[in-house]
Amino acid sequence: MNKSALVIVPTFNERESLPLLVKGLLLHPGVSVLVVDDNSPDGTGAIADDLARASDGRMRVLHRTEKPGLGRSYVDGIRIAVGEPFDVICQMDADLSHDPHHLPDLIAATDHADVVIGSRYVSGGAIVNWPKRRRLLSRFANIYIRTVTRLSPRDCTSGYRCWRRESLGSLDLTRFTSDGYSFLVEMLFAASRAGCRIAEVPITFVERRLGESKLSSAVLFESAVTPWRLVATKHVNP
Ligand SMILES: Nc1nc2c(ncn2[C@@H]2O[C@H](COP(=O)(O)OP(=O)(O)OP(=O)(O)O)[C@@H](O)[C@H]2O)c(=O)[nH]1
Ligand SMILES: [Mg+2]
């Protein structure tokens, strides 16, 4: 792999998963890691600091103390990332649902796309260990989002993505208002409106085995409203 990449990993209470994830990521030459921790009560931030110290300068930690939230964490991480000389900026979850093994494929696909989605819903993609209820929720969410927003990707809610740095840098983050997982949909919508080429690469998504999910009813409510808000506000970048 000859492109350099910075992987932004938001964390909240991921003390068991994070060391395994970082190990897998740093196996890839040219890959660096930026952990954005939301002051996790379980001490993930301190564990991340230890990993960073042992990383030969390839990993850093941003400790957030402002209003918590996945969307806000991504905004802070992206602001740092777009100002650095990496070819590609990636996003992924810390809970090992996103296998670092797929990363080179996603990065390589940025040769021909501005944003590449690690997708569960294209040919070759798969989900391991999700209960039927969770599968249905994700399927329904994607149909709902695609119908309301007219976005074309099959997997609009995947948090495993790689961007060309200039493409990500061209999005106006100050306009993003989502706090939770809807932030991912908002990013894709803005990218699509900005004319970015969006590609999907199949991944096998594995349900977390360690730690706890943060999917709450407030987050689900925001996810139901966001597609309509995006369409209504005609979210565009200058
Ligand atoms: N910084 C930060 N990270 C968060 C926050 N909420 C979730 N995360 C991280 O975002 C990623 C996705 O969160 P998960 O809890 O795995 O959510 P999910 O994948 O939709 O749900 P599961 O499938 O149940 O795991 C993980 O790396 C979390 O640690 C937050 O408020 N702030
Ligand atoms: Mg998860």
- Evaluate: CB of 222 within 6 angstroms of ligand 1: no
- DSSP letter at 150 equals -
- Evaluate: CB of 53 within 6 angstroms of ligand 1: no
Among 74, 75, 93, say which to mutate for ligand 1: greatest number of ligand atoms within 8 Å of CB.
Answer: 93
Instruction: Give the residues across from 61 on adjacent strands.
Output: 35
Between the CA of 12 and the centroid of ligand 1 the distance, in Å, is 7
* Ligand 2 (single-atom ion) residues, CB below 5 Å: 93, 95, 97, 208
What is the pLDDT at residue 124?
Answer: 98
Instruction: Give the residues across from 137 on adjacent strands.
Output: none
pLDDT digits (tens, 9 = 90+) for 206-226: 998 888 877 778 878 888 889
What is the phi/psi pair of residue 10, to 5°? -75, 140
Q: Which residue has the higher pLDDT, 29 or 214?
A: 29
For the residues of 26-80, what is the DSSP string, one character each?
Answer: HTSTTEEEEEEE---TTSHHHHHHHHHHTTTTSEEEEE--SS--HHHHHHHHHHH
113 φψ region: left (φ > 0), alpha (ψ -120 to 50), beta (else): beta
- Evaluate: CB of 94 within 6 angstroms of ligand 1: yes
Helix (H) or strand (E) holding 169: helix 165-169
Between the CA of 11 and the centroid of ligand 1 the distance, in Å, is 7
What is the number of the ligand 1 atom nearest to the C-alpha of 9?
A: 27
pLDDT band of 49, cuts 50, 70, 90: very high
> Which of 18-27, 54-63, 167-176 is least confident?
167-176
Alpha carbon nearest to ligand 1 atom 31, residue: 69
Number of neighbouring beta carbons within 10 Å of residue 176: 20
- Going by C-alpha positions, the residue among 5, 71, 1, 2 that lies closest to residue 36 is 71
Ligand nearest to the CA of 37: 1
Between the CA of 14 and the centroid of ligand 1 the distance, in Å, is 9
- Evaluate: CB of 17 within 6 angstroms of ligand 1: no
What is the pLDDT at residue 68?
Answer: 85
pLDDT digits (tens, 9 = 90+) for 70-89: 999 999 999 999 999 999 99
pLDDT digits (tens, 9 = 90+) for 80-121: 999 999 999 999 999 999 999 999 999 999 999 999 999 999
Q: How far is CA 161 from CA 47, 56, 217, in A?
A: 25, 25, 25
**Per-residue pLDDT for 234 more than 70?**
no
- Evaluate: CB of 48 within 6 angstroms of ligand 1: no
Among 17, 22, 95, say which to mutate for ligand 1: greatest number of ligand atoms within 8 Å of CB.
Answer: 95
Between the CA of 70 and the centroid of ligand 1 the distance, in Å, is 7
- DSSP letter at 157 equals T
What is the phi/psi pair of residue 88, to 5°? -130, 140
What is the pLDDT at residue 238?
Answer: 47
**Region 39-53 average pLDDT:** 97
**Region 60-71 average pLDDT:** 92
Angstrom distance (rounded) from CA 206 to CA 152 = 24
What is the number of the ligand 1 atom nearest to the C-alpha of 68?
A: 31
For the residues of 173-236, what is the DSSP string, one character each?
Answer: GGG----STHHHHHHHHHHHHTT--EEEEE-EEE---SS-----HHHHHHHHHHHHHHHHHT--
* The model's pTM: 0.94
pLDDT digits (tens, 9 = 90+) for 165-193: 999 999 999 889 888 889 999 999 999 99
pLDDT digits (tens, 9 = 90+) for 129-169: 999 999 999 999 999 999 999 999 999 999 999 999 999 99
